[in-house]
Each structure stands twice: as C-alpha cells, then as structure tokens.
Amino acid sequence: MNNSKITISVNNRTGKKLQTCIYGFADDLDLPKILKYFKKKFSCTGSIENSEEFGDVIKLTGDHKKLVLGFLLKEEICKASEINIKGI
C-alpha cells in the first residue's frame, strides 16, 4: 500500500468520444505493465504520458472509471478513501 492519492478522470476527447485518465500513482508501480493489463482487459487503446502537473498519466480511450476503480481496489494498490473520481 502507498499513501498516494490516485485520481480517475473521465473527459471528452472529441465529440461523443470519452477518455479516462488515471494519475497519482506511487513511483514504485510498473505503469507499462498496468497499462498493458488495462488495454487487454478493457479492450481499448491507451498510452502513458508525462505531465508536468500530474506526473505520469495513463490515458485510456472510453469510459472505464468503474473498471479501473475495481482493479485498484482488488489489487490493493490503494484504499477506496485514497481514490478521487472526477468527470462525467
């Protein structure tokens, strides 16, 4: 467990299309491995981008906030109280 506050945000990408952004991960997590799992499990595309404001951000196409939340809790990456959900 870590003390980081993970944020799951769903934003409009273009028109009707949505994008899920997850950031605030601890430094010791293997983000490429997590991204690979998300892409395979959720059948979507995704990438890891570095933001000056948020650090490493995992971006997934589509609205996957409930699936990401379930994954974070199931794998005990963080507690429910450490997750912030924003957006649509």
Domain boundaries along the sequence of the chain: 6-87
**Tens of pLDDT along 6-61?**
999 999 988 889 999 999 998 899 999 999 999 999 999 999 999 999 999 999 99
Q: What pLDDT does 14 receive?
A: 83
Give the Cα separation of 61 and 74 in Å (integer). Answer: 22
User: Is the confidence at residue 5, as pLDDT, over 50?
Assistant: yes
Rounded to two decimals, what is the model's pTM? 0.91
The correct CATH number of 6-87 out of 3.40.50.10860, 3.30.780.10, 3.30.930.10, 3.90.550.50 is 3.30.780.10
Q: What pLDDT does 1 receive?
A: 46
User: Is the confidence at residue 77, as pLDDT, over 80?
Assistant: yes
Q: What pLDDT does 15 receive?
A: 84
**Closest alpha carbon to 56 in 7, 2, 1, 13:** 7
Give the Cα separation of 32 and 30 in Å (integer). Answer: 6
Q: What pLDDT does 3 receive?
A: 55
